[in-house]
């Protein structure tokens, strides 16, 4: 059965992930979605802030997957694929819509969304919160990675319509992931991957590696072929397209 979602709307929250985590720890059910019109302390990956002005989408989905945490780590890739699949029918040229490892959706090589997974345990077992931010009407001007918005890409979609369509797509892919594991998701993700087989750079703290993006493996890790021919398996980092 596809997951039934319940949207809990707020005008303002510090972070929808914080509220979803609170609900998770209180025993909230799988499928709860916390959404806010704006966030005052939105959080991004690697402890960065996520600018959260009104007009964009900020929501967090509570999941209780019955798998070990290691497997649940592929869920952000499911969430990113779901967003790309949601946006694809609205794109004139779907080649302009790509996925940047691990879970950024890009339009014309600019980041239009961000996904932040957080997890923990409660009496009911493992909980996972997937926080999703989509730049609908605006994007911050100065970001570590160039950003864009749906509006800038010529896609006009309101928060309601986008949320509804996204949750339907995500629910279907989550069901596939539960029934068949990460394998079919991986294949679909790779079909949309930015620069597969080409040069990319990955930063991990102060270290920067450049190589050929060869694959994303069955665990969701990135395989980078370095200049000396060796292979590096990367499980965390920031990818930049090109050198
Ligand atoms: C990234 O750094 O790319 C991830 C950004 C995740 C932002 C979303 S907005 C909704 C949810 N609440 C948060 O505080 N963060 C996530």
The overall average pLDDT reported for the chain is 95
SS3 142: coil
The DSSP bridge pattern shows strands 32-39 and 104-107 to be unpaired
Say how many Å lie between the first and final Cα of the chain, rounded.
45
DSSP-assigned states of every residue in 63-102 = E--SS-HHHHTTHHHHHHHHHHHHHGGG-S-GGGEEEETT
Give nearest CA residue, ligand 1 atom 2.
44
In the predicted model, what is the mean pLDDT of residues 160-187? 97
Q: What is the pLDDT of residue 228?
A: 95
> In a mutational test of the pocket of ligand 1, which residue from 7, 116, 136 has the highest number of ligand atoms less than 8 Å from its CB?
116
Q: What is the pLDDT of residue 143?
A: 87
Q: What is the pLDDT of residues 25-78, one digit of tens each?
A: 999 999 999 999 999 999 999 889 999 999 999 999 999 999 888 889 999 999
> In a mutational test of the pocket of ligand 1, which residue from 51, 58, 113, 130 has the highest number of ligand atoms less than 8 Å from its CB?
58
Q: What is the pLDDT of residue 5?
A: 97
Residue 60 Cβ < 6 Å to ligand 1: yes
126 pLDDT more than 80: yes
129 φ, ψ to 5°? -115, 125
122 pLDDT more than 80: no
Q: Which helix (H) or strand (E) holds 62?
A: strand 57-63
pLDDT confidence bin for 142, thresholds 50/70/90: confident
174 φ, ψ to 5°? -65, -40
Q: What is the pLDDT of residues 78-99, one digit of tens each?
A: 999 999 999 999 998 888 999 9
Q: What is the pTM of this model?
A: 0.96
pLDDT confidence bin for 123, thresholds 50/70/90: confident
Residues 6 or more apart whose CB falls under 8 angstroms from that of 14 comprise 39, 40, 41
3 pLDDT more than 90: no
2 pLDDT more than 80: no
pLDDT confidence bin for 150, thresholds 50/70/90: very high
Residue 182 Cβ < 6 Å to ligand 1: no
Rg for the chain (alpha carbons), in Å? 17
Q: What is the pLDDT of residue 130?
A: 98
What is the spatial distance between Cα 39 and Cα 52, in angstroms, rounded to a whole number?
5
In the predicted model, what is the mean pLDDT of residues 173-189? 97
């Amino acid at each position: 059965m596809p997951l039934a979602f319940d949207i809990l709307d707020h005008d303002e929250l510090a972070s929808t992930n914080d509220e979803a985590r609170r609900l998770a720890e209180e025993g909230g059910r799988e499928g709860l979605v916390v959404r806010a019109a704006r966030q005052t302390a939105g959080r991004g990956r690697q402890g960065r802030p996520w600018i959260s002005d009104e007009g964009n989408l900020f929501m967090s989905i509570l999941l209780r997957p019955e798998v070990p945490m290691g497997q649940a780590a592929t869920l952000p890739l499911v969430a990113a694929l779901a967003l790309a699949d949601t946006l694809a029918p609205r794109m004139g040229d779907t080649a302009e819509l790509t996925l940047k490892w691990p879970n950024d959706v890009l339009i014309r090589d600019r980041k239009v969304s961000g996904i932040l997974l957080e997890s923990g345990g409660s009496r009911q077992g493992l909980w996972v919160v997937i926080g999703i931010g989509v730049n609908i009407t605006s994007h911050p001007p100065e970001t570590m990675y160039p950003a864009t918005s749906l509006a800038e890409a010529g896609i006009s979609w309101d928060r309601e319509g986008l949320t509804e369509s996204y949750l339907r797509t995500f629910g279907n892919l989550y069901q596939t992931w539960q029934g068949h594991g990460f394998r079919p998701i991986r294949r679909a993700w790779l079909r949309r991957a930015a620069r597969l087989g080409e040069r990319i750079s990955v930063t991990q703290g102060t270290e920067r590696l450049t190589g050929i993006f060869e694959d994303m493996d069955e665990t969701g890790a990135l395989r980078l072929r370095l200049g000396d021919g060796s292979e590096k398996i990367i499980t965390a980092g920031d990818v930049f397209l090109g050198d």
